[in-house]
Amino acid sequence: MRRHELDTPALILDLDVVEANIAAMAAFFRDRPQKLRPHFKTPKTPEIARRQMEAGAIGITAAKLGEAEVLARAGIGPVLIANQLVGRQKIDRLLALPEHVEIIVAVESLLNVEELEAGAKRTGRRPHVVIEVDTGMHRCGTANPEDTAALAERIAAGPLVYRGIMGYEGHTVLLPDPTDRREKATAALERLSAHVRALRAAGFSPEIVSAGGTGTYDIAGSQPDVTEVQAGSYVFMDGRYRSVRPDLGQPALTLLTTVIARHGDYAVIDAGMKALSNDMGPSAGARLPFTVARLSEEHGTVQTGEADLQPGMKVEVLPSHNDTTINLHSEYYVVRGDEVVDVWPVEGARAYR
């Protein structure tokens, strides 16, 4: 089957571009001390994670337990869960994962440590942890280096295995101006280094120092204290990262849609908010010049611009934000050129907790 014969809306993944993007990012990390642990929250399919591991990644980063479960069951790891797991049910699920895949989980409070310790006591297993540090995004994480060192000391005194720290400078990865982005990311990474120094001074030198995203992979990937980078979006790219990092890879993912109506200067496609996200602004035509100006639940209203869209045409959209768009779908239609060669499940979207 050819890509334009697919029923719509359908996620189309260009495997040639995916492979080129994986190879290019792997090449950047090949000869440096910093390594790549790509984020699973974008692709949500073991097919991608496996290819990233084969290209030299040291493991995979996950955003939540459900993603780590998918990876562990596929035998892919080590996995860093870059988030806190709170509550007995999640701790029990974590400790029920296959033991042959190493899982490291982020903690940021005494509660996290105590819950994991209680789980260790129940099961005899010793969860590996990194401490999450707030480097300026103001979401989760310890802000004070002394608090980080005190938490490390607390961890090391118990059954948990202390591995290091992580700090994601998410407030800088999408800054459009390269100089501004570099300055603010560097400032965030300097905050991370302050925690590293406090830990070293307290005798808890971190083996893992994880940071960085697709917008800052080269900044974090050149910082001496950083040991690994958790970029994820690079594998497919999307509209927002294309505008922020035009030097990076080509877009590998598009949404195939059908034009269902045309009235004057606008057309309507069969993809609304339930198939295409707009949290990063409007998406655009992937091959034809148009903008998806408005989304209702099942309709996208397209300013046709230079493109003469007519009902019945199938047109591809480059999502402005892949992560939240992929999360709306159940499968990828994988193509080489125009030929559909495979169908891959979007697995993490179902295991959403």
Q: Is 135 in the site for its own copies (CB under 8 A)?
A: no
Closest approach of its own copies to the CB of residue 220, in Å? 18
Helix, coil or strand: residue 45: coil
Q: What is the DSSP letter of 326?
A: H
50 or 171: whose CB is closer to its own copies?
171
Q: Is 266 in the site for its own copies (CB under 8 A)?
A: yes
Handedness of CA 198, 199, 200, 203 (dihedral sign): positive
Site size for its own copies, by CB under 8 A? 59
Residue 98 Cα distances to 60, 68, 102, angstroms: 16, 11, 9
Q: Is residue 95 a contact partner of residue 119, using CB atoms and an 8 Å limit? A: yes
Interface with its own copies in residues 216-255 (CB under 8 A): none
One-character DSSP codes across 233-250: GGGT--HHHHHH-TTS--
Q: Is 83 in the site for its own copies (CB under 8 A)?
A: yes
Closest approach of its own copies to the CB of residue 30, in Å? 29
Residue-wise burial string across 244-274, b where 16 or more C-beta atoms lie within 10 A, e elsewhere:
bbeebbebbbbbbbbbbebeeeebbbbbbee
- Of 8, 21, 135, 223, the one binding its own copies (CB under 8 A) is 8
Q: Is 303 in the site for its own copies (CB under 8 A)?
A: no
31 or 265: whose CB is closer to its own copies?
265
Q: Is residue 146 a contact partner of residue 199, using CB atoms and an 8 Å limit? A: no
Q: State the residues that interact with its own copies by CB under 8 A.
A: 7-10, 41, 63-64, 83-84, 86-87, 89-90, 93, 108-109, 111-112, 115, 134, 138-141, 143, 170, 258-261, 263, 266, 268, 270, 273-275, 277-279, 295-299, 301, 311-312, 314, 323-324, 327-330, 349-350, 352-353
